[in-house]
Structure 1
Amino acid sequence: MSNSTMFDQFPVFETDRLILRQPDQQDIEDIFEVLSHEEVARYVGIARFQSRTDAENELRWYRDLFEQQQGLRWAVTDRSTGKFLGSCGYKHYHAAHNKAEIGYDLNFSWWNKGIMSEALRPIIAYGFTHMHLNRIEADADTRNTASIHLLQKFGFQVEGIHRETEFENGMYIDLVKLALLRKEYELNS
């Protein structure tokens, strides 16, 4: 699939509990709710959102990723209510190298309920089957053991720690670099 074909129409996925769709204007308040929570912001590596403008900028970033063919960011929504619970997707998409970085965030009240595990399954599959990725990378805050464990559950391997690699929220943080290769994914699928 060529880049132009892949980015012609935003893909939508349905799971048992979720619908993964393109984020839109109706999600602004929920985006703000998710990313204004201190724990969520800490592990996403951003300053807590302080205003609706922050959420509007985030939505603009989601749109720009897709329009500029640099990635895709899905709204993770509750299938029964339609409520935006968080987001997940790819950034730093490099067609020439067949790789991208995966990331996600989730409303704090939905942590530890298997939501992100359910959301990532079709996203990872899409990365390997439709985006033709050979490598999916992830960076996780070393303090975020739940996220590291989630990625390892999908077969991501720890490749190392980038010590004090980012300055976020007034402090330097260490990031764990993880990656999943196509051959590893296919072996375990």
Structure 2
Amino acid sequence: MKEFFLKSIRIGFSIWSENDICDALELWGNPEVTKFITAEGTMSKEQVQQRLRNEIENYNNYNIQYWPIYLIETNENLGCCGLRPYDHENNILEMGIHLKEKYWGKGIAKEACFAVMEYAFRNLNANALFTGHNPKNSASAQLLKKLGFVYTHDEYYPPTKLYHPSYLMKKQNYMDVH
């Protein structure tokens, strides 16, 4: 049984460890998931292992990561959703989500992101959240609009070698609605 430090109605948030390599490979080893994450569209086993190490390092250094998320009812891994450092000086964190394809279109992304937004603003006292998406990923664009993020600019994202539409959610705007 996984331990969850954060829960929503259906989703439990855990913390990546080296023991989670199978979940990491199932997620980032799937070209349907990574087609919008990397320029190549795929990640090798070594790249997935490095990604897992990066998430663990982010947690060790900053107490945040793109946390692994699980269906509370079955303990099944859904993917990951969370935070990483973005603009330390202004206390702005970056939010992101990667879901296994069988969970697309079921409201999981919206539910997970709302839980992370709540956690970032209420527990971590972030001033704002930044996020972006691959310009070819229209589902992410729709999700960010539903979440209330405001488009600010296009930003170059080295892993995809593309300019990603980028958005911001200021703490005050979030608190006014929630």
Q: TM-score, normalised by structure 1?
A: 0.83
In the alignment, does 2:59 pair up with 1:66? yes
Q: Where do 1:37-116 residues align within 5 Å? A: 37-45=30-38, 47=40, 48-51=42-45, 53-69=46-62, 71-116=64-109
User: What secondary structure is seen at the aligned counterpart in 1 of 2:116?
Assistant: helix
Structure 1 residue identity aligned to 2:176: L
Structure 2 residue identity aligned to 1:84: N
The alignment of Structure 1 onto Structure 2 pairs a total of residues equal to 175
User: What secondary structure is seen at the aligned counterpart in 1 of 2:97?
Assistant: strand
Q: Is the 8 Å Cα contact of residues 31 and 43 (structure 2) preserved in structure 1?
A: no
* 2:166 corresponding residue in structure 1: 177
Q: Equivalents in 1 of 2:149, 2:136: separation in Å?
A: 17
Q: Equivalents in 2 of 1:80, 1:69: separation in Å?
A: 29
Runs of 5+ consecutive residues of structure 2 not aligned to the other structure: none
CA deviation digits over 1:126-165, x for unaligned, max 9?
1111111111000211111111211121110011223xx3
Q: Equivalents in 2 of 1:72, 1:126: separation in Å?
A: 12
Q: Is the 8 Å Cα contact of residues 87 and 104 (structure 1) preserved in structure 2?
A: yes
Match of 1:131 among 117, 124, 129: 124
Structure 2 residue identity aligned to 1:121: F
RMSD: 2.1
Q: TM-score, normalised by structure 2?
A: 0.87
Q: Is the 8 Å Cα contact of residues 101 and 138 (structure 1) preserved in structure 2?
A: yes
Q: Equivalents in 2 of 1:31, 1:100: separation in Å?
A: 22
Give 1:27 deviation, angstroms: 2.4
Give 1:167 deviation, angstroms: 5.3
Q: Is the 8 Å Cα contact of residues 136 and 181 (structure 1) preserved in structure 2?
A: yes
CA deviation digits over 1:85-115, x for unaligned, max 9?
1111111254541211111101111111111
Runs of 5+ consecutive residues of structure 1 not aligned to the other structure: 1-9
Q: Equivalents in 2 of 1:45, 1:22: separation in Å?
A: 23
Once the two structures are overlaid, the 10-residue window that deviates more, 179-188 or 27-36, is: 27-36
Identity, % of aligned positions? 22
